[in-house]
Amino acid sequence: MSMFHPKTNAFDKRMKELFDEIDDELEEEFGDRYPLHPNRPKRGATANKSADGLFNIGVQFTPGYGSEQGRGYVVDFRIATLAKVCSHERELFLDRVVELIKLNLPEFFPDRHLEIVRDGSVFKIIGDFSLGSL
């Protein structure tokens, strides 16, 4: 049983769907660049896209205390490999993630003004998180 408002649950579910789609794009484009971590299942081996394949991408809500941008969803991006990933390549992947978020936010959340911005050393989705009228 969830302790959150049903509209919050629906929003979070839609956000997960967005990041599952982005995960698919990344896996298609870059999934063979590095060997998987030995404990990481290959792509499609689990029911949760964040638990398999080379990339683990999602968001975590933060109230944004002390942040320039305030509250929002911080992008969490990890590469599941023991191989050394050079900073240039990591930035390439992250740039692609940001590009895909910008491209897909309006499709997944057409009735909201959401955007992705850099907030210090992280990227964050900010904007209209209201629940609307009850």
pLDDT tens per residue, range 8-42 = 888 999 999 999 999 999 999 999 999 999 999 88
DSSP-assigned beta bridge partners for residue 45:
none
Rounded Cα gap, residues 108 and 103, in angstroms: 10
Residues in the chain: 134
Residue pLDDT, tens place only, 76-126: 999 999 999 999 999 999 999 999 999 999 999 999 999 999 998 899 999
pLDDT surpasses 70 at 1: no
Rounded Cα gap, residues 62 and 131, in angstroms: 17
Contact predicate 36/61, CB 8 Å: no
pLDDT at 6: 84
DSSP-assigned beta bridge partners for residue 127:
114
pLDDT at 25: 95
pLDDT at 53: 92
Confirm whether pTM is higher than 0.95: no
How many angstroms separate the Cα of 73 from the Cα of each of 83, 101, 126?
A: 28, 12, 7
pLDDT at 4: 74
